Amino acid sequence: VALLSAAAAAPLVDGHCHPVVTGPVQPPEFEWWCSESASPPRPGESTMDSSLGYAIRRWCAPVLGLPAHAPLADYLWVRGELGPAEVTSRLLRAANLAGLLVDTGLPAAELTDLATLAEAAAAPVHEVVRLETLAERVATSGSAASFAPAFRDALVSTCDSGAVAVKSIVAYRHGLAVAPACPGRSEVTAAVGRWLRSGKRLTDPLVLSFLLWTAVDLGRPIQLHTGFGDADAAITGSDPGLLQPFCAATADRDTTLVLLHAYPYHRRAAWLAHVFPHVYVDVGLTVPYVGARASAVLAEFLELAPYGKVLYSSDGYGLPELHLTGAALFRQAIVAVFDAMVAQDALTEADAARVIEAVSSANARRIYRLP
Ligand SMILES: [Zn+2]
């Protein structure tokens, strides 16, 4: 176990996460951030009475100087006394990260900027550009006819200025049944015209698939939301199995698809990573949310996905507690999974330690071409 624990203790690349809130967090708001539900629980219930809630108390309380499992009220009191900047830096540094890939597509004025996040975490931060957010920004100027080249130019210049990957939330906007070919220019112009006249957010499947195919042309890794998320996610439309035609159609292109989250369809995502060389799976969001069950779920990711194709992330957002809890649970889970495999003589401890290093950081460094 010593060799495995040492491998898991090395700095992690958090391959998908978000900034954290800058100001103090009041108790109801803290609970709100600890759930994918946007609605407050009913009286007498709490989002902290959950796998994630107990994991946060287990892993974060000691970093703030409290005993593990300290009551939530004590935790929030100490959190308030220490202040947001101190709490953020303690928790992010305790996560021991070698780098963070940060999705900047969720607009919120009160979130940290990337430089502040890097300073707090004492680790480099790499931007990930959200395709739909960029498209909506590009669409605020120009016409339907100018949209396609303007979007392509905007994406190229964002990538040139340092973004290491792009992210798609097509699962939220339409579903993962993405067209297996890039739509033609005139089709895109007509669809953009309909979208702009509607005055609504982008949900047109043709425009959404144009964004993805543009990203395929660019060659940057594409992260796709799959599986569970907030109540806005049509869960059956988020089944990564629906991406099979898109995966097949992009298999001979110089592109990389990273399937984020995936739960409860993580075994289907693992199958896609198994059969398509350019498809990878990321355990983010799932690992922190399943709490003490992380080792069971991680083991399921690793049943079919080749070990070089599984990536760590926390999907922490809003609270630095989520970045730390993801990291701590992942380390505990991957040691448990491979310790059991070594015990049954499935592989040597040295091989298991190498796999832990791959999933923890080496796979991410390779596919995102991190320095
Ligand atoms: Zn996310």
pLDDT over 70 for what percent of the chain?
A: 99
Residue 133 CA to ligand 1 centre (angstroms): 14
Residue 224 CA to ligand 1 centre (angstroms): 10
Residue 17 CA to ligand 1 centre (angstroms): 5
In angstroms, what is the C-alpha Rg of the chain? 20
Residue 37 CA to ligand 1 centre (angstroms): 14
* pLDDT above 90 (res 106): no
Mean of pLDDT values over 43-62: 96
pLDDT band at 231 (very low <50, low <70, confident <90, very high): confident
- Tell me: the pLDDT tens digits for 266-292? 999 999 999 999 999 999 999 999 999
Residue 256 CA to ligand 1 centre (angstroms): 18
Return the pLDDT at 230: 84
Return the pLDDT at 142: 85
Return the pLDDT at 371: 82
Residue 16 CA to ligand 1 centre (angstroms): 6
Residue 44 CA to ligand 1 centre (angstroms): 29
All residues at 6 or more sequence positions from 57 whose CB lies less than 8 Å from its CB, including other chains:
48, 68, 69, 70, 71, 72, 75
DSSP E strand stretches across 143-212: 165-168
Higher pLDDT, 105 or 333: 333
Give the β-pairing of 97-103 and 12-17.
parallel
Q: In what side-by-side order are the strands of the sheet with 12-17?
A: 12-17, 97-103, 125-130, 165-168, 222-226, 257-261, 279-282, 310-311
Mean of pLDDT values over 229-252: 92
Given the structure tokens 């790499």, which residue do they identify?
126
* pLDDT above 80 (res 311): yes
Tell me which amino acid residue 332 is: Q
Residue 93 CA to ligand 1 centre (angstroms): 20
Tell me which amino acid residue 6 is: A
State how far the Cα of 148 lies from the Cα of 179, in Å rounded to an integer: 17
Residue 229 CA to ligand 1 centre (angstroms): 9
Residue 334 CA to ligand 1 centre (angstroms): 21
CB 163 within 8 A of CB 215: no
pLDDT band at 234 (very low <50, low <70, confident <90, very high): confident
* pLDDT above 90 (res 173): yes
Return the pLDDT at 151: 97
Return the pLDDT at 348: 98
Entry pTM: 0.97
Residue 3 CA to ligand 1 centre (angstroms): 31
Bridge partner list, 280: 258
